[in-house]
Copies of this chain bind each other. A is one copy, B any other.
């Protein structure tokens, strides 16, 4: 690598434009640290005239990023478009094939095509770095790949999506509804104004879980969808009841090896109000690793936004500038194993069940009888009457039971006319 490094930044959204500014303002600092001068020689976005937070040099602007490869010598390319396929994939693919190092915060791309692109990078002896794809500014991938490199990690979990964590925290604090708080989050820039779906339904967090699994367990990226649930069905009522029970609701991403099989999930969890994870609020992300000999390690920090994301992108840049070629997933691609998926039916948890029922005799006993029939034993039961509406809320905390069992049991309530909604189920984490 020569001492003058040509850089391309593809995608000038919130993150791309912030990165561009950082590359300019930290040029000197990067030179001191690495002895290399970085020059941004090409940028690309759909519109040249769009109003942006920082100025863009129009002389190096390309509306079609593929043109860059033809006209300009690039050493390192930042992909910040963010699609899982299409132009994002094409740009990264072409760059790697042209022996250009790639740095990206694109979790959708890496969680879908990471194995292929990682191999491509290895074959072409260039780096593919994606620290910013998981947990924003927290250097969690570097920690797994390098800092804890020789540990045997058995479980990795945490709060991987700042948007949903903000919404759940804010619903609890403001006692406002999901939809109102979502609007507030969009106003504050914590949730996408157009389509926040991939945050809310857990899809975004699941992409991160997949990347974390692959690194932690040295496996190929899984294609399974074990169990994916978002927060769209969480009601203020559940959050308030949780508080009364000294619990909090968090959207957790969890990945672990159970009996040699991979279990990956994202779903809302009830955790103790006094637990560490129960106290990670707002847009914060937190990742907890369990391994040997390290024990339990926690990393917490801001999980989103252009600042933290740029912090990780620049960390990757320094790593690339250091000159040695790293394996994108820490170990050579051919040593990464395929791993089977754990049968979701066997996943066991204590459950929080909320039934909204007609307030008439026999309903409660029907509920408890059916639970008993499926050997779901009750740890705690709280019935709160709503006399005015002739209704009652029944909260049941169960002992551990399997997914299969609870699914079967709950389905029997579908036809019961005295049960007003399909019961709400939230799993209790440990």
Asked whether, in the complex, the Cβ of A32 is within 8 Å of the Cβ of B331, the reply is yes
A150 at the interface (CB under 8 A from B): yes
Judge whether A308 and B323 touch: CB under 8 Å. no
Pair A311/B151 contact, Cβ less than 8 Å: yes
- Check B301 against A150 for contact (C-beta < 8 Å): no
Q: Given the interface contacts A32-B331, A150-B318, A322-B324, does A302 sit within 8 Å of B311 by beta carbon?
A: no
Bound form: Cα–Cα A326–B319 in Å? 11
Question: Does A410 sit within 8 A of B, measured CB to CB?
Answer: no
Check A311–B332 contact: CB distance below 8 A.
no
Complex Cα distance, B144 from A137, in Å, reads: 12
Question: Considering the complex, which residues of chain A in the window 140-157 have a beta carbon less than 8 Å from any beta carbon of chain B?
Answer: 142-143, 146-151
Please measure, in the bound complex, the distance between the C-alpha atom of A310 and the C-alpha atom of B22, giving whole angstroms: 36
Asked if residues B139 and A147 are in contact (CB atoms below 8 Å), the reply is yes
On chain B, the residues within 8 Å of A86 by CB distance are none
User: Do B150 and A30 touch (CB < 8 A)?
Assistant: yes
Whether A150 contacts B295 by the Cβ 8 Å rule is no
Given known contacts A150-B318, A315-B146, A331-B32, A137 and B297 CB-to-CB distance under 8 angstroms:
yes
What are 26 A-B residue pairs whose CB atoms fall within 8 Å in the complex? A22-B150, A33-B149, A131-B147, A137-B293, A137-B297, A138-B297, A139-B146, A139-B148, A146-B318, A147-B312, A147-B315, A148-B311, A149-B318, A276-B300, A279-B279, A293-B308, A293-B311, A294-B302, A294-B307, A297-B302, A298-B298, A298-B299, A298-B301, A299-B299, A323-B324, A324-B324
A85 on interface, CB distance cutoff 8 Å: no
A32-B332, A323-B324 given; A148·B143 CB < 8 A: no
- Decide if A353 is an interface residue (CB 8 Å cutoff): no
Encoded as 1 (CB less than 8 Å from any B CB) or 0, chain A from 307 to 336 comes to: 110111011001100111010001110010
Q: Tell me if A296 counts as interface (CB < 8 A to partner B).
A: yes
Q: Which residue of chain B is the closest to A139 with respect to CB atoms?
A: B147
Q: Return chain B residues, CB-CB under 8 Å to A32.
A: 331-332, 335
**A315 contacts across to B, CB distance below 8 A:** 146-150
Total interface residues on A, using CB and 8 Å? 51
Say if the beta carbon of A26 comes within 8 Å of chain B.
yes
Complex formed: what's the CA distance from A163 to B293 in Å? 19
How far apart sit A300 and B314, CA to CA, in the bound complex (Å)? 24
Interface residues of A in 282-310 (CB under 8 A from B): 286, 292-302, 306-308, 310
- A138 — which chain B residues lie within 8 A by C-beta? 297
Q: Does A29 contact B (CB under 8 A)?
A: yes
Nearest opposing residue in chain B for A276, CB measure: B279
- Expressed in whole angstroms, the Cα–Cα distance for A323 and B331 within the complex equals 15
The answer to whether A137 and B295 touch across the interface, beta carbons within 8 angstroms, is yes
Determine the distance from Cα of A310 to Cα of B314 in the docked complex, in whole angstroms. 29
Query: A276-B279, A294-B308, A301-B294 given as contacts; is B151 within 8 A of A147 (CB)?
Result: no
